[in-house]
Structure 1
Amino acid sequence: MLINANTAISTSAVLLVPYSKWHVPRYHVWMKDEEIQTATASEPLSLEEEYAMQQSWRHDADKLTFIVCQPLPEPLSKAKQKYAIRESDDSADRMLGDINLFLRVDDGEAGDSSAPQIIGEVELMIAEKHNQRKGFGRASLLTFLRYIVDHEAQILDEFMNGNITSAASSESVARVPKPWRLECLSVKIGQGNGRSLALFEGLGFQKVSEEPNFFGEFELRRVDLGREKVDGELARFGIEGYVEVPYRDEK
């Protein structure tokens, strides 16, 4: 997506930045790990293919992504919104993982005749084991949720007016009622991944079924996307100083 091409998000716990070409070499190293490939249902790519994928994430109207980095050395305040992210702030040694949103138009289960709905599927990865179990995943997810609820209308406008023929038929898209809104956020987690299940369930995602699907995954959904709810969760976990700041152009 283009909506976040020049926007980074700073909090006391993490820094989220647009996925840019200078992040690709580090990301490529992560994705060589077989455990990460299994957890993300990904196939290994060549470096050239990884650069092409980064451009797809940057421009496709149905994908929103940020790279998760360590928080800025000094927290920002709204009084400092003119601060621009420096190269050292999201250098390779400060990268932690990524968080993504896939948007789709869903006609409903089992041929339901109700109006199509817009659903956002979330993917979260904290790549290296020494950075896991430190709260970075929860902080990334809550920061991402805050961005989504603040910019829902713009995100959906880009999605619905973009090239989403792979996500839904034109007939389904035309039937989505206005004003456009996210019906829910969804996540799919392997049945053996207890930590991720606990993380998402602790933040209001509920299992669609008590049994995993054919692929051994649980789908969990969150329907409460209100700003007040998200702000309360940020405060509960001590994540402060949410500020959107300018991010440098990708040349």
Structure 2
Amino acid sequence: MKINENTQISGKKIVLVPYDRCHVLKYHEWMKSEELQALTASEPLSLQQEYEMQQSWRLDEKKCTFIVLDSEVYNSNHHDEISSMVGDVNLFFNEPDFPHSAEIEIMIAEPWARGQGRGKEALCSMMRYGTDKLGIQRFTAKVGLANNTSLRLFEKIGFREISRSEIFQEVTLELPVSEELLKTLILQTPCYSIEDHIK
């Protein structure tokens, strides 16, 4: 999505930057992991396919993607994004009948970065950006039945199950945007700020 190509979102534990060509090699290494493939229901791609996907997502107005950086590593390593990468967070506008609805995904790929609140802050920051800047009125999420960590994370924020598929082994969750949700997102992201992303 072109709208976020020069946008950086900073928080307490995380920094979100647009998914750029320089991130592809490390992202590709992550996605060789069978664990991550299973958790994200992804198929492994060749490096060339990964570069092509990054470029197509950058231009696709129905996909908004940020790389999640660890803020401590980022700030102590002279803003080196590659060494700071821990995951990604995405919005997909894939319901033509509901243009203000978006599916949200979060992945914390680095095992050392999990279980310490980075995923929650990245998710809430992306949701705040989505409501403020993209006009989202409803969020959905699809989570693997076996991915209990992600299910708990989404449920803590307020998502509720609306369907499940035994065939695809996933649960679909939904959360309408309300005044209560907006207050929750502000409380969960006290250090939230948007600035220009300087490459």
> What does residue range 7-22 of structure 1 map to in structure 2 within 5 Å?
7-22=7-22
Match of 1:29 in 2: 29
TM-score, normalised by the number of residues in structure 1: 0.72
Letter in 1 for 2:83: D
Match of 1:157 in 2: none
Match of 1:204 in 2: 158
The 1:15/1:231 distance shift into structure 2, 3 A limit, reads farther
Higher relative contact order (CA 8 A, sep 6+): 1
Q: How many percent of aligned residue pairs carry the same amino acid? A: 40
SS of residue matched to 1:44: coil
Match of 1:191 in 2: 145
Q: What CA RMSD, in Å, does the superposition of the two structures yield over aligned residues?
A: 2.1
1:40 lines up with 2:40 in the alignment: yes
More strand by share: 2
1:120 lines up with 2:102 in the alignment: yes
SS of residue matched to 1:39: helix
Per-residue deviation at 1:199?
A: 0.4
Match of 1:93 in 2: 83
**Residues 117-156 of structure 1, C-alpha deviations (whole Å, 9 max, x = no match):** 2331111100021111111110000010111111124xxx
> What does residue range 1-251 of structure 1 map to in structure 2 within 5 Å?
1-71=1-71, 88-106=78-96, 116-118=97-99, 119-153=101-135, 182-209=136-163, 211-226=164-179, 229-235=181-187, 237=188, 239-248=189-198
SS of residue matched to 1:122: strand
**Residues 59-114 of structure 1, C-alpha deviations (whole Å, 9 max, x = no match):** 11110000000126799xxxxxxxxxxx94242211010000111225xxxxxxxx
CA contact (8 A) 2:70 2:86 kept: yes
Per-residue deviation at 1:189?
A: 0.8
Letter in 1 for 2:170: E
Per-residue deviation at 1:231?
A: 4.0
TM-score, normalised by the number of residues in structure 2: 0.90
The 1:246/1:189 distance shift into structure 2, 3 A limit, reads same
The 1:183/1:213 distance shift into structure 2, 3 A limit, reads farther
**Residues 32-63 of structure 1, C-alpha deviations (whole Å, 9 max, x = no match):** 11111111121111211111111111111110
SS of residue matched to 1:202: helix
SS of residue matched to 2:16: strand
In 1: Cα distance, 2:12 partner to 2:119 partner: 14
Letter in 2 for 1:102: F
CA contact (8 A) 2:19 2:66 kept: yes
Unaligned runs of 5+ in 1: 76-86, 107-115, 154-181
SS of residue matched to 2:121: helix
In 2: Cα distance, 1:197 partner to 1:2 partner: 30
In 1: Cα distance, 2:74 partner to 2:39 partner: 33
In 1: Cα distance, 2:86 partner to 2:74 partner: 18
Letter in 1 for 2:148: G
SS of residue matched to 1:144: helix
Per-residue deviation at 1:232?
A: 3.1
**Residues 192-215 of structure 1, C-alpha deviations (whole Å, 9 max, x = no match):** 111111100110110003x54421
Choose 1 or 2 for highest CA Rg.
1
